[in-house]
A = this chain, B = another copy of it.
Amino acid sequence: MEKYKFFDLPEFSTVKDILENERKNYVITLFGLCKILYAGRASSIATYSSRLITFKPDGSVLVHSNKKLKPVNWQPSSSEVKVEIGDELNIYVERKRPKEVLEILMPIVYYLSLSKVDEGEFHLFGSESEMVEEVVKNPELISRDFIPLEREYQTPFGKIDLLGVTSTGYLILEFKRAQAGLEAVSQLKRYVDYLSWKGERVRGGIVAPSISKSALKLLKKYGLEYFQLSPKLLPTIRLK
């Protein structure tokens, strides 16, 4: 299997053949004029324009314009691809559950490339999970009397990052590796409400490097707390 191949102005039959037979082996990129119809949770139309379309071996499909990180249209992994040839090349990308269909109509494909892309290894440092780990090892970072009980404590309203106790009752901690916003406060409030409804004495706190003004205001209104803690970044690749 070659590392990569390139087809300049490929015939529709070539594109069909490659999309149907090489899709599991390569990341396939088409550059061409396309109109895109989508129907599923919502529906959308992207009018004829030159866009870059990528098909990955796991079934995910991305349609990119010249702007922004987010694709214009996309289908997640495990989607199926079918190709029909008419006046235009018709590519159907279907996801079964929930049912969603992306229909790509292409009057012309400028180029097609096949790339033997690998997954590679990816290591993330400074994650929320690492922050929880640090607090579990050094509970005095929160308070002298804090005793961690359980990570990922399941409630009907989501998982509590870290549940512990202090001399005044339970303490629920919600971790964010970047600035905590309103959603983090609301999330914590759900867990605190849940244990309160069960009759427990409970406090709640956000653990994050910073918190937005509006989130801090809401936090105080709800009688919740904020603990300032930054995730540890790997020293060797710190910002210059």
Binding site for B on A (CB under 8 A): 3-4, 6, 8, 27, 29, 31, 37-52, 54, 56-58, 60, 62, 64-69, 71-72, 74, 76-77, 99-101, 103, 110-111, 113, 115-127, 156-158, 177-178, 182-183, 186-187, 189-190, 193, 197, 214, 217-218, 221, 231, 233-234, 237-240
Contacts and interface: CB of A to CB of B under 8 A. Distances in A.
A40 B239 contact: yes
A150 B107 CA distance: 45
Nearest to A234: B43
A115 B110 contact: yes
Nearest to A7: B6
A221 to B, nearest CB: 7
B37 A237 contact: yes
A8 to B, nearest CB: 7
Nearest to A190: B186
A185 B26 CA distance: 42
Oligomer copy total: 2
A48 B119 CA distance: 10
Contacts of A67: 56-58, 60, 77, 119
A82 to B, nearest CB: 12
17 contacts: A6-B113, A29-B52, A39-B237, A43-B124, A43-B237, A44-B122, A45-B125, A45-B237, A47-B123, A50-B115, A58-B67, A60-B69, A67-B77, A72-B122, A110-B115, A111-B113, A183-B187
